[in-house]
Structure 1
Amino acid sequence: MWSADQYLNSLYQESMKSHNNVNEKAAKLDLKNKFQQLLGNFEEKKKNLEPLLVEQADMGSYLRLRVELSTIDSLRMPVYLLIPKNREETKLPAVLALHGHGYGSKEAVGLNPDGSKRKNQGYHKQFAIELVKKGVVVIVPELIGFGDRKLQSDQGNGSPTDNSCYMIASQLLLLGKTLAGLRVQECRRVIDYLQTLEEVDEGKIGCIGISGGGLVASFTSILDERIKATVISGYTSTFKGSIMDRRHCLDNYIPGLLMYTEMPDLIGLIAPRPLFIEAGTTDHLFPMKESLVAIERLANIYKALDTEASFSSHIFEGGHEISGEKSFEWLIRQLSIA
């Protein structure tokens, strides 16, 4: 055959045969260590976060702050911090809320790219606002490559929803690193910051992400056990049936990963910590058929650990979008008992 279809499929099938049983404790630890290596080395001597308040707004039931943090080397990251007002508890649970592709963190907090109030909700459905109204602190990082963190050459060009993912990811790959790894490491620094806040109970930190933010939520939760409960929306699938099945953003590709695991077993490394998967029936990027395969596999992983109660899922009528119909309350409940 002149095309590579059969060859690529055979490579995939061979890689599946080499995978270990990740239900075994030693195998899980080995896979986690390999995964960390594949993401690239971003470890460094921790420096001061040097938080800088950029703006503050009273939103009635909550305060919305924009804070700038030091993360890795020379990188600075803006985050939105939403803090409930009139709270009864001195310290509250906190949620790391991760946006997907689009124009960045402003989408999650109900703002247009220019900072004005957004009228329609989009596929993010202003989920950070929905969560802060339920009484938890919410922090929304501006993931690198989006919004105000696009490359300088991309700033002011094209649509606000255009991103710098390809250019950043491709250059990092040449340096033995990945864009996913960089985003994960920066999110771990955001958790460092959360733990310094007097409003936050540092033992009750959760995470939620949609689409590309679902990738970052899952990867960060795998590697950072300070995250006590995780919601993944619009991402959970199989690599074969989603990332390999169409053209996806380059930030999805981790060199060598399929030699060790498929997506469900990778996400299963979060177990036995609480995990919630939500997926839309008509999601065109992460098809329902493959999401169901992943959900079944994850359910079996939790069952094998006798922690079935810590795994939940919700299939909702909708497309590539966040739902929150069941996941928001689930996340609040898990953090309340953490």
Structure 2
Amino acid sequence: MWSPNASMEQLYRAFELKREQSRTEWAEHAKAHMKKRLADSLAVTIEEQDELRPVLLDRVELGDHIRERIEISTFWGFRVPVYVLLPKGDFRKRAAVLALHGHGFGSRQIVGLNADGTEHTGEWDLHGNYALELVRRGFVVVVPEILGFGDRRLEEDQKDGQVGNSSCQTLASHLLLYGIPLAGVRVQEARRVLDYLVSREEVDASRIGCFGFSGGGLLAAYTAVLDERIQASVLCAFTNTFKRSIMGVHHCIDNYLLGALDFAELPELIGLLAPRPLFIASGRQDPIFPVDGVETAVSYLQLEYALAGASERLGVHLYEGVHEVNGSQAYPWLVKNL
């Protein structure tokens, strides 16, 4: 009788109606308005960006590629470790991909390493080592350690050799006191990583893509919407509706963006990528991004791409699997589109 469920549902419907009225009010400028609102929601107070000042930490020559670890600066004094995977072969400029990991033990999880930095052998985990798969397809791949994971956890979360946990809860709640979204910090850092990527002599800056899994998919989507240097995007195990995913299933606090439902549902935000190439991949048995929510989002995106005259630029792969990477169609799609 006193459960808030019904009231919360009414609140969602009220904001849904408000968004519909707003779209009518803004008419042909609705998308620009939505993009501005997203940018405002992700805004981070930065007095001055730090110079990148890249430092080479390690360089390893492997059988089919070279793996570098670089340290760069972003802002607020942050120094960020970044893996750069370089294909072996000729010295022509190549297409490049910003690869953004999900929850786990960080950037090492998608470049072929264990959490302690040793070479991984045996079967891949749910991340599928997609940065490694991409470099083997000829891309230069840059993989930043996202704030709150791996080596960029708070000291308390690295005690006693803990592996695979994150500092998301603490960072997000503390940043909230400053009115700063954790997602916004991560997006701004991803854009600084792009600044570094396009400065590399091996990279063709006109052919930049991104590939994000889970929480990395959120970061890839928002970064690509705000930064048009990204020409093609793969969002894996993320595309859904807020209603069916982060409102219907318990998720990490880093998925929530203050005031988002005041101006858009998630498919509308992803739809801002049209007409740029976009590939959606998701497991039919994913328990935290349910397939019916994926299908709702895909239906909306198909309409948006059709209206933009770019239906052929939208790819979709719903595969048999859980919350995991399956790049069997996404990898060749990215090769074709970059």
- TM-score, normalised to structure 2, is 0.96
Pair 1:167 & 2:170 matched: yes
Pair 1:11 & 2:6 matched: no
Secondary structure, aligned partner of 2:117: coil
Q: How does 1:90-109 map to 2 (within 5 A)?
A: 90-109=92-111
Q: How does 1:310-321 map to 2 (within 5 A)?
A: 310-321=313-324
Does the 8 A contact of 1:42 with 1:185 survive in 2?
Answer: no
Q: How far apart are the structure 2 equivalents of 1:220 and 1:40?
A: 12
Q: How far apart are the structure 1 equivalents of 2:252 and 2:95?
A: 33
Letter in 2 for 1:56: R
Stretch deviating more after TM superposition (22-31 or 168-177): 22-31
| 2:253 match | 250
Does the 8 A contact of 2:46 with 2:76 survive in 1?
Answer: no
Q: How does 1:5-44 map to 2 (within 5 A)?
A: 5-19=5-19, 20-21=22-23, 25-44=28-47
Q: How far apart are the structure 1 equivalents of 2:74 and 2:45?
A: 11
Q: How does 1:121-132 map to 2 (within 5 A)?
A: 121-132=124-135
Does the 8 A contact of 1:229 with 1:273 survive in 2?
Answer: yes
Letter in 2 for 1:50: R
Letter in 2 for 1:255: L
Q: How far apart are the structure 1 equivalents of 2:271 and 2:13?
A: 20
| 1:239 match | 242
Does the 8 A contact of 1:42 with 1:182 survive in 2?
Answer: no
| Superposed CA offset, 1:31-85 (max 9, x none) | 1111111123244433310001111100121100000000112101101000011
Q: How far apart are the structure 1 equivalents of 2:298 and 2:132?
A: 28
Aligned residue pairs total 334
| 1:219 match | 222
Letter in 1 for 2:65: Y
Letter in 1 for 2:233: T
Pair 1:197 & 2:200 matched: yes
Structure 1 position 18, deviation (Å): 1.4
Structure 1 position 157, deviation (Å): 3.8
| Superposed CA offset, 1:151-181 (max 9, x none) | 0111134641111000001111121111111
Identity of aligned residues (%): 45
Structure 1 position 312, deviation (Å): 1.0
| 1:287 match | 290
Q: How far apart are the structure 2 equivalents of 1:162 and 1:76?
A: 20
| 2:144 match | 141
Secondary structure, aligned partner of 1:155: helix
Moved over 4 A (4+): 22-25
| 2:53 match | 50
Q: How far apart are the structure 2 equivalents of 1:311 and 1:228?
A: 13
Stretch deviating more after TM superposition (148-157 or 267-276): 148-157
For residues 25 and 322 of structure 1, do their structure 2 counterparts lie closer, same or farther at Cα, with a shift above 3 Å needed?
farther
Root-mean-square deviation (Å): 1.4
Q: How far apart are the structure 2 equivalents of 1:40 and 1:158?
A: 34
Letter in 2 for 1:194: L
Secondary structure, aligned partner of 1:18: helix
Q: How far apart are the structure 2 equivalents of 1:323 and 1:25?
A: 37
- Structure 2 residues without counterparts, runs of 5 or longer: none
